[in-house]
């Protein structure tokens, strides 16, 4: 099979027939063998009934229905598990992503050798309250991930080599960082294509401004787990040791200052009357706790089944 199209959706009953007809026109015009996997993320409208009707009309349509709303990441991951096509295309169900982009995305994967191609909605039909935070978000994501050639990490229109989606796990709200997940899994041939962005035709957006706050937190999580996930002592141990050492030196300075004053008959106060003593003591306690956190983290990693996980690209 050439292509699997994975479409996560929530309350998009109005747009589904038009989207399916559009996908079918593109696939038939290019002679692709394909499947379309709709993942209904607990919709409260008639989306699942529409998917049933589409499947009855075209056996290439497949559907998965969640019992409740879990989010876009679990929906995508469910589609990835079931995708059989050589190239996997993801797109949103709101008709803002154009199926006409599919042939070129397919070509970039199969002929240009990319592992992943991400769409870039260079001209967006979104309000400034959405576009400005998006630009800031993408700039931060480029800096942290090291994928400097991507302008739109969160674009729903992407193409993947099949083995990419089989080697990454999309959870929580990590769908925003699938290129970063792919890079961490060893798939570094990541490209970008300018795609057409259409104004929403039906319904309303399902995402609020809170996604930007959550997005930054998820980005920090990915950065930390990628850098220190299998070696937590390198982070906690180093930071803890530095804090303990700083506190220990500060205690010695405070004590030495009192001894110097006593030896030369100068006025002095109790060590415990100095605020620097308690600051130093706090640093030593925090440093010890961080070091122990790193040690416990190492014990957890040592007993994890994924402590020595790696992927072999080829063997002869």
Of 93, 89, 90, 91, the residue nearest 15 (C-alpha):
93
Q: Tell me the H-state helices in the chain.
A: 16-30, 47-57, 72-82, 102-110, 128-145, 162-166, 178-184, 210-228, 233-263, 275-302
Give dist(CA 150, CA 194) in Å, integer. Answer: 10
Residues of the chain with pLDDT under 70: 124-131, 199-216, 229-230, 304-316
Long-range contacts of 184-188, Cβ-Cβ distance < 8 Å, separation of 24 or more: 184/222, 184/226, 185/311, 186/311, 186/313, 187/115, 187/116, 187/161, 188/115
Confidence at residue 207, expressed as pLDDT on a 0 to 100 scale: 53
Confidence at residue 33, expressed as pLDDT on a 0 to 100 scale: 97
Of 185, 169, 177, 28, the residue nearest 99 (C-alpha):
28
CB 192 within 8 A of CB 118: yes
Of 306, 158, 155, 144, the residue nearest 217 (C-alpha):
144
Confidence at residue 227, expressed as pLDDT on a 0 to 100 scale: 72
Q: What is each CA distance from 212 to 8, 170, 173, in whole angstroms?
A: 20, 18, 11
Burial class of 13 by CB neighbour count within 10 A (0 to 12, 13 to 18, 19+): buried
CB 29 within 8 A of CB 4: no
pTM of the model: 0.74
Confidence at residue 311, expressed as pLDDT on a 0 to 100 scale: 56
Domain chopping of the chain, boundaries: 3-228, 233-302
Give dist(CA 72, CA 260) in Å, integer. Answer: 66
Positive/negative CA dihedral, 142, 145, 149, 155: negative
Q: Report the CATH fold assignment for 3-228.
A: Spore Coat Polysaccharide Biosynthesis Protein SpsA; Chain A (3.90.550)
Taking the mean position of all CA atoms in its chain, how far away is CA 106? 23
CB 121 within 8 A of CB 192: no
Confidence at residue 119, expressed as pLDDT on a 0 to 100 scale: 93
The number of CA neighbours under 13 Å toward the Cβ of 199 is: 3
DSSP of 39-87, one letter per residue?
EE-S-SSSHHHHHHHHHHH-TTEEEEE-SS---HHHHHHHHHHH--SSE
């Amino acid at each position: 099979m050439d292509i699997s199209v994975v479409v996560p959706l929530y309350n998009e009953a109005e747009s589904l027939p038009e989207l399916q007809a559009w996908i079918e026109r593109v696939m038939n015009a290019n002679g692709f063998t394909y499947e379309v996997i709709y993942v209904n993320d607990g919709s409260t409208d008639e989306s699942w009934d529409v998917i049933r009707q589409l499947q009855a009309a075209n056996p290439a349509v497949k559907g998965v229905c969640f019992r409740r709303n879990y989010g876009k990441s679990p929906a995508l991951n469910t589609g990835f598990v079931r995708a059989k096509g050589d190239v996997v295309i993801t797109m949103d169900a709101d008709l803002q992503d154009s199926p006409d982009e599919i042939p070129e995305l397919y070509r970039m994967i199969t002929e240009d050798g990319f592992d992943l191609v991400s769409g870039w909605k260079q001209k967006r039909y979104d309000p400034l309250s959405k576009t400005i935070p998006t630009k800031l978000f993408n700039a931060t994501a480029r800096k942290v991930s090291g994928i400097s050639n991507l302008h739109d990490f969160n674009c729903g229109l992407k193409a993947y080599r099949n083995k990419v989606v089989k080697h990454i796990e999309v959870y929580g709200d990590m769908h925003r960082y699938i290129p970063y997940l792919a890079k961490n899994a060893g798939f570094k041939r990541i490209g970008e294509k300018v795609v057409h962005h259409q104004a929403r035709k039906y319904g309303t957006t399902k995402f609020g401004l809170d996604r930007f706050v959550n997005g930054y937190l998820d980005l920090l999580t990915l950065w930390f787990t990628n850098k220190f996930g299998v070696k937590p002592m390198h982070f906690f141990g180093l930071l803890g040791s530095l804090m303990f050492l700083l506190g220990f030196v500060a205690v010695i300075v405070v004590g030495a200052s009192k001894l110097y004053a006593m030896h030369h008959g100068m006025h002095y106060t109790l060590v415990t009357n100095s605020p620097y003593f308690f600051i130093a003591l706090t640093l030593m306690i925090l440093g010890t706790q961080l070091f122990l956190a790193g040690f416990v983290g190492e014990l957890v990693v040592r007993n994890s089944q994924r402590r020595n996980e790696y992927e072999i690209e080829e063997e002869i």
